[in-house]
Amino acid sequence: MITSPVFRGKRYAVLGLARSGAATVEALLASGASVVAWDSDEAKRDAILPGTGRGTARKASGGGGSMQSTPLVESPLHHPADGPPPRAGEELTFADPLAIDLAGFEAVVVSPGVPLNRHPIAAKARDAGVPVIGDIELFAQARPSLPPHKVVGITGTNGKSTTTALIHHILETAGVPSLMGGNIGLPILSRAPLAEGGVYVLELSSYQIDITFTLDCDVAVLTNITPDHLDRYAGFEGYAASKARLFAMQSPDHGAVIATEDDATRAIADGLRAPAQEHAVTVVTSHDIADQSRWPALQGPHNAQNAACAIAACRLLGLSHDAIEQGLRTYPGLPHRMERVAEKAGVLFVNDSKATNATATAPALAAYPLIHWILGGLPKTDDLDDCKPHFDHVRAGYTIGEAGPMFARILREAGKPVTESITLDVAVRDAAAAARAGEVVMLSPACASFDQFSDYEARGEAFRAAVGAL
């Protein structure tokens, strides 16, 4: 894991013990810090104990802010099989930060999912003069302790996961040590540090940027900004300002890559290029990519934008044209995001289960000219308006789930043949029977999954299984 002497002897409160929170606790304890941890889910609190083997678990009493030494589990926290016993400074206690005095804490480390515009921890920490930060800020503070390296940070409303994974893949293909983390993959603090010359590639949501203050990316990338998460911000302008903070944290001579295909990203790029800023900015658009045919997992205009961002970032990192091209050709794509599952009798099967609304489905429809479209599930809207510009690519529709009848009506009104398959396995068989060589059978539901599946990943796995059973 990533540790640093900068944390030694300091005291942190960690609120939220899902993957990133649990990794934060481990990294801070291993660095010699003391930690007060909390999650409202008792199972998450219990789960963190066997892995630490350190300190004494205590819980806050009442609302007075004091702590009692009442064990949260009946068995001792340390067992010989768990590894070495606690060292000085490695104390783990459990208490809700809202119920204790935060004076003397170095920081409150929160999960990005904690809504700081509504959660009382923000005011509590502010009154105590204690910053509220996230695990990415801890990584930023630990950087001077790590072997010399570079960091690429990627943000944007859409495309940041693909762009992050693509940059990481190009680097690995070129033989450059690389780790992918942040809003994708494993928590960055849980990973072993890279050797000298490595590159950390971090996907950063606006929530993560909000609680990060010193991350000076060697290359910062912005894909696009469209309205999203507005319940957390003072309108769209507040959301866009959160994305812009990634560049405000940069040294001016470090590289910025911005896809300027919307008003918000153009405004950020113009601001960075102003004479008073003198920021090094590389502007890209999807139109920079003339031919995607060599990159099978990067089809469609949205992936042209993702590729343009990744190419520019990798050039700033010093990679050659040939190394970048090799990575683009061999990039396998992300699971459930326009994932090429199989090709049978000349028919390509594509899993785009992550597309849980019509806006997310539209780029997938744009990517292929002859599509047998499987759609439906738990609807988020009562229309497919964002998809209509690409209906000419749809050979036929196969509807499933709660939204099936509504979507079948919309497609029939647009003159498209529709089969109401009801369930996904039947839809795969129906579409496969109708598709011809050169055509695509694609699951891109434009709906949430919860009427028939536990999540979009389970839905995507079911699609893979159904294709495999053909």
Spatial distance between the Cα atoms of 269 and 265, rounded to a whole number of angstroms: 6
Contact between residue 199 and residue 178 where contact means Cβ atoms under 8 Å apart? yes
Catalytic position from the list 124, 158, 183, 224? 183
Catalytic position from the list 59, 229, 344, 380? 229
Q: Where are the beta strands (DSSP E) in 334-433?
A: 339-344, 347-351, 371-376, 394-400, 418-422
Spatial distance between the Cα atoms of 325 and 333, rounded to a whole number of angstroms: 15
Catalytic annotation present for 160: yes
What SS3 state is found at 217? coil
Catalytic position from the list 150, 160, 279, 393? 160
Pairing of strands 178-182, 149-155: unpaired
Contact between residue 272 and residue 256 where contact means Cβ atoms under 8 Å apart? yes
Q: Angle 19-30/135-142 helices, nearest 10 degrees?
A: 30
Spatial distance between the Cα atoms of 396 and 373, rounded to a whole number of angstroms: 6
Pairing of strands 347-351, 339-344: antiparallel
Spatial distance between the Cα atoms of 138 and 187, rounded to a whole number of angstroms: 12
Catalytic annotation present for 229: yes
Pairing of strands 347-351, 440-443: parallel
Q: What are residue 343's DSSP bridge partners?
A: 348
Cα–Cα distances (Å) from 421 to 397, 404, 428, in that order, read 9, 8, 9
Quick one: which H or E segment has residue 169? Answer: helix 160-173
| C-alpha torsion 114→168→314→259, nearest 10 | -40
Catalytic residues: 160, 183, 229
